[in-house]
Amino acid sequence: MPQLDFKEIPQANIASGQQDTFELFAREFLELFGFKSLSGPDRGADLGKDLVVQETRIGVAGETTVRWLVSCKHKAHSGTSVGLGDESDILDRVKVHDCGGFIGCYSTIPSSSLTQKLGGLKANNPSFDFQIFDREKIESVILRTGAGQRIAQRYFPVSYGKWNEQNFDIDLALARIGMPQPVSYRLPDDDRILTLEEMMKLYPQGNRYIYNPWLSENLILANNVLGITKLLDKDGFTDPPRDYFQRMNESIAFNIEAMRQHRLEELQADKAASESARKTIKGKKSSKRKTAKESRKRNRK
């Protein structure tokens, strides 16, 4: 069942000023996938291309590069598939832009006739290749990584928000307690080594804070995107010790015993107060009887 609603991206066939949004999204998605953007998106006559991207392949003989022509078709609002009429003259368009392959980036799915045509072009042209990224493949890629989820958060704020809330696995977060935790991160195509704090600033959407009433001096921070479960106290982030749950159970037992003792002391204090009040009332009654007796004696005299 789809998790992201592509209808959150404005329609491409209405001149609203946001008609390029799906192409912008496609560029970011392909860059996430490892492609390098060479041109587009832009408005005006594009000669049958929305984007041109480059793929670098590393093999035993060294590096080779492949240019891909990208066609973006945003049909989520109508729900129709991308057909032959939407993708005409594919091979000619690829050659015009000096590309070796074709990428279809679609917010729905390709029709079977279009898939068959692409397969036939590849079979009859050994230098030609194609890839299709439909809504299901796009979704599976961007929800799999922190960088992808950051893109999803921007382009699909409503449906991503619902998915994020439903897919936080507290059992997974707590299972990391006592296990080794990452101390630094390296992003793809980036030589920098980032600290945990720097990564959390880049991907704050993964943070969840769990309040433990039995160990109120700290919070449990769980981030399933970064794969961490930390304690947050006045000194900052620390790794939970292996005996964290044992300590928690001991704390629970200690607090329960403290509450039991406190309640016992309250009951004893209430009993003592009641006894004192009873004695006070009894003393006042005795004093009144004594006074009345003495008064009767004086009257008889």
Per residue, what are the HEC states of the chain?
CCCCCHHHCCCCCCCCCCCCHHHHHHHHHHHHHCCEEEECCCCCCCCCCCEEEEEEEEECCEEEEEEEEEEEECCCCCCCCECHHHCCCHHHHHHHCCCCEEEEEECCCECHHHHHHHHHHHHHCCCCEEEEECHHHHHHHHCCCHHHHHHHHHHCHHHHHHHHHHCCCHHHHHHCCCCCCCCEECCCCCCCCEEHHHHHHHCHHHEEEEECHHHCCCEEEEECCCCEEEEEECCEEECCCCCHHHHHHHHHHHHHHHHHHHHHHHHHHHHHHHHHHHHHHHHHHHHHHHHHHHHHHHHHC
**Total structural domains in the chain?**
2
Is residue 212 assigned to a domain? yes
Q: Answer yes or no: is pLDDT of 212 > 80.
A: no
Same domain flag for 14 and 157: yes
Where among 105, 136, 166 does a domain terminate? 166
Look up residue 83 and give its two tokens: 């057909």
The answer to whether the bond into 157 is cis (omega within 30° of 0) is no
Q: Answer yes or no: is pLDDT of 284 > 60.
A: yes
Same domain flag for 215 and 227: yes
Domain of 141, CATH number, reads 3.40.1350.10
Q: Answer yes or no: is pLDDT of 99 > 60.
A: yes
Same domain flag for 130 and 232: no
Is residue 214 assigned to a domain? yes
Is residue 107 assigned to a domain? yes
Is residue 293 assigned to a domain? no
Rounded to 5 degrees, φ, ψ at 255 are: -70, -40
What is the structure's pLDDT at 294? 66
What is the structure's pLDDT at 1? 64
Same domain flag for 188 and 117: no
Average of per-residue pLDDT across 240-263: 81
Same domain flag for 44 and 90: yes
Is residue 71 assigned to a domain? yes
What is the structure's pLDDT at 67? 94
Least confident of 16-20, 90-94, 117-121, 292-296: 292-296
Where among 191, 210, 242 does a domain terminate? 242
Is residue 261 assigned to a domain? no
Same domain flag for 80 and 56: yes
Average of per-residue pLDDT across 28-45: 83
Can you tell me the distance from the alpha carbon of 145 to that of 226, in angstroms, rounded to the nearest whole number?
A: 9
Same domain flag for 126 and 212: no
Where among 242, 274, 289 does a domain terminate? 242
Same domain flag for 43 and 175: no
Query: Using an 8 Å Cβ cutoff, are 54 and 66 in contact?
Result: yes
Same domain flag for 63 and 29: yes
Nearest CA to 234 out of 221, 217, 251 is that of 217
Can you tell me the distance from the alpha carbon of 232 to that of 164, in angstroms, rounded to the nearest whole number?
A: 22
Same domain flag for 147 and 21: yes
Is residue 188 assigned to a domain? yes
Can you tell me the distance from the alpha carbon of 220 to that of 198, in angstroms, rounded to the nearest whole number?
A: 19
Least confident of 214-218, 222-226, 279-283: 214-218
Is residue 281 assigned to a domain? no
Average of per-residue pLDDT across 120-132: 93
What is the structure's pLDDT at 16? 79
Average of per-residue pLDDT across 27-45: 83
Least confident of 18-27, 83-92, 191-200: 191-200
What is the structure's pLDDT at 135? 94
Between vectors from CA 120 to CA 114 and to CA 122, what angle results, nearest 5°?
Answer: 105
Residue 94's pLDDT band (cuts 50, 70, 90): very high
What is the structure's pLDDT at 298? 66
Residue 299's pLDDT band (cuts 50, 70, 90): low
Same domain flag for 24 and 137: yes
Query: Using an 8 Å Cβ cutoff, are 66 and 89 in contact?
Result: no
**Is 0.75 topped by the overall pTM?**
no
Residue 176 domain boundaries: 170-242
Amino acid, res. 3: Q
Phi-psi region of 204 (alpha: psi -120 to 50; beta: other; left: phi over 0): alpha
Q: What share of the chain in percent tops pLDDT 90?
A: 36
Q: Answer yes or no: is pLDDT of 46 > 70.
A: no
Between vectors from CA 205 to CA 201 and to CA 206, what angle results, nearest 5°?
Answer: 95
Q: Answer yes or no: is pLDDT of 45 > 70.
A: no
Same domain flag for 143 and 32: yes
Beta pairing partners, 55: 66
Residue 27's pLDDT band (cuts 50, 70, 90): very high
